[in-house]
A and B are shown apart, each in its own frame.
Chain A
């Protein structure tokens, strides 16, 4: 497998400058507690401002409030947000997945209803895929939607649903028929999480923070017009939702701030071992970023780089964990969430969340099977 080198165009660089200038002001140092990658907290205010700038729903059609901009342009915006640890969880899923999938498969009515809100940063979405008995083997979902007058009645349980306690909607993968082919009977429903019959039970993260939830649907009535795409096409839609965005900056940037603050706090007194760590890390960071940018460019060129994306995610997330493993051998400090040192706070958070990097968005083991099939 080969990647063809690409780089930012002058227009893309101009956008990058614009985003940097905006964030320099908006996220002035000390004004917020930087987070790590996708686990950075939520700020409705920031999301709305990004929406005003046209930096949410960037690739969506203008008639629905989007900017008809490219995947690479979104890459530029997201990269700047992530490397500053900006709080982006309010809009993250809607901007990254739900908006694009509604645009691709949704009816005209669904697009008119949801996309302008996604572009303005006013909606929080969750992903209703995993279930207690369906993790990597997503085709075995058992959440069931039965046709009733005017729509569907949804019953079942989703789990590991990030941000469901804050979200307005979830796109839920569920069974709408008992087809012989277990991929065939699946559909996607857009479910209002404030509907009667929805219960969101927090599952505290290992450090006690809130992110994960169990979402229980008990006879939840979902109007027929909230069926996303065609009935029975849920599997294909879901797969496309997963495949393309896998190699984005969020897959390799997570420990960036830990390293930046390491350099900030220890930069005057670093020995050869720390220098080698920085050399190895920065070289690999630079190259993995090139891979990620190349995948974005391929999508803009109308190709379907699902194997390349999987490869980018595997490379990026393994690298992230390697950075965390090595940096802890260089300084004799106890990571602490309440330290006065920003490095130690970020280190503590990163140590706690690092295992999730190779799990979320498809475990690396499953991705490797995807890649291996693609290599043949």
Chain B
């Protein structure tokens, strides 16, 4: 499952051009970045990993996750994961049209209370990414995939720690735009894993960028007559950052590869768990190596570190260690090594 390199180079160029420091700051202020979206949509990036036949841009899940890595690297403030790999995936699975504008998905949190009655949607959905800018909101309600037009709902703007929109959406008997039965295997738990895979993909990119930024800064910043990156105590932080980034990046590659093949629940849970760990450990090291400049809005580190803190809390957060651990306990001691070596293929039920 080799990822299309040309695609990634194209994505990298597009985000390098559009995701400037000023543009990311503006997106946080305005809640939407139309120029960045238009560029990405113009070359099909939001729909990579959604089959051609369903109206997507084709490519594998690995391609889609790799594009998210590039987006995470540039802190791209658009609903890239939501439009294709999440909303597009749900719609395609239920044979519904996926549309051409920005889409988003209801993550399905415990505090939500969505229900269908007489073809209308009732209840409140929380933490819906960019609901205010989306052309359609897709949700799993009562074993059905449902799509609604946001203008028919009441949207209360909320943002995550990185200033990305995570809106509360109130559906007060809203007529649904599209509805179809969710096929077997498409349920809230499958969405949790799929969401975790997208977040881990974004986080892998952000971690790599954070590691590189930290190496760059500490090789330029001089104190006591030398670059601070030459101090062994600082090098410990650089290495910590690089290790966590490399580990998460590799875990995400394997998780996406297995998702293209079938059951990837162990790999996805592990990748998200490791990304969440890295969001604690690597951001601390990166900030320490930067010193005061890292705490300012004018310097780019916070575009990455705040996103890592925010994404860590999305799609599972700290539920993963215990869930994975329970699965390991259920698999038993005789299966333990196979789990470590073979992941989902060992038969572990994560």
Residues of A with Cβ closer than 8 Å to B?
1-5, 7, 79, 83, 256, 259-261, 263-264, 267, 270, 272, 274-280, 282-291, 294, 311, 314-315, 365, 368-369, 371-372, 375-376
Contact = CB atoms under 8 A, between A and B. Distances in A.
B270 A286 contact: yes
A78 to B, nearest CB: 13
Contact of B329 (A4, A270, A288, A289): A270
Contacts of B229: 372, 376
A184 to B, nearest CB: 25
Nearest to B328: A278
Given A5-B257, A376-B215, A278 B239 contact: no
Contacts of A4: 253
B26 interface: no
Interface stretch (B15-23, B160-168, B337-345): B337-345
A293 to B, nearest CB: 9
B314 interface: no
B333 interface: yes
A5 B239 contact: no
Interface of B: 208, 211, 215, 219, 229, 232, 235-236, 238-239, 242-243, 245-251, 253-254, 257, 266-267, 269-271, 273-274, 277, 320-329, 332-333, 336-337, 339-341, 343
Q: Which of B248, B251, B267 has the most CB of A within 10 A?
A: B251
A369 B233 CA distance: 10
Contact of A2 (B215, B236, B249): B249
Nearest to B256: A5
Contact of A372 (B239, B257, B341, B343): B239
B332 A276 contact: no
Contacts of A282: 270, 324-325, 328, 336, 339-340
Contacts, number: 145
A142 B246 CA distance: 39
Contacts of A3: 246, 249-250
24 contacts: A1-B211, A1-B242, A1-B246, A2-B249, A5-B253, A5-B254, A7-B254, A274-B325, A277-B325, A279-B328, A280-B324, A280-B325, A283-B251, A283-B270, A283-B274, A285-B340, A286-B341, A287-B247, A287-B248, A290-B251, A294-B250, A372-B229, A375-B238, A376-B215
Instruction: Decide if the interface of chain A is mainly helix, strand, loop or mixed.
Output: helix
A290 B239 contact: no
Given A261-B333, A263-B329, A278-B325, A368 B250 contact: no
Contacts of B215: 375-376
A280 to B, nearest CB: 5
B345 to A, nearest CB: 10
Contact of A289 (B271, B321, B324, B341): B341
Contact of B246 (A277, A286, A291): A291
Contacts of B257: 5
A285 B269 CA distance: 13
B233 to A, nearest CB: 10
Given A279-B323, A283-B324, A314 B243 contact: yes
Contacts of B274: 283-284, 287
A289 B346 CA distance: 15
A289 B339 CA distance: 11
Nearest to A284: B274
Contacts of A371: 235, 238-239, 242-243
A320 B310 CA distance: 29
Contacts of B232: 365, 368-369
Q: Which of A4, A83, A274, A375 has the most CB of B within 10 A?
A: A375
A275 B326 contact: yes
A274 B245 CA distance: 26
Contacts of A286: 251, 266-267, 270, 339-341, 343
A4 B246 CA distance: 10
Contacts of A83: 337
A275 B322 contact: yes
A376 B341 CA distance: 32
Nearest to B231: A372
A372 B218 CA distance: 11
A63 to B, nearest CB: 33
Contacts of A264: 333
Given A279-B273, A284-B274, A286-B339, A311 B323 contact: no
A86 B187 CA distance: 45
A39 B22 CA distance: 56
B239 A376 contact: no
A289 B340 contact: yes
A256 B239 contact: no
Contacts of B340: 256, 282, 285-286, 289
B239 A311 contact: yes
A79 B250 CA distance: 20
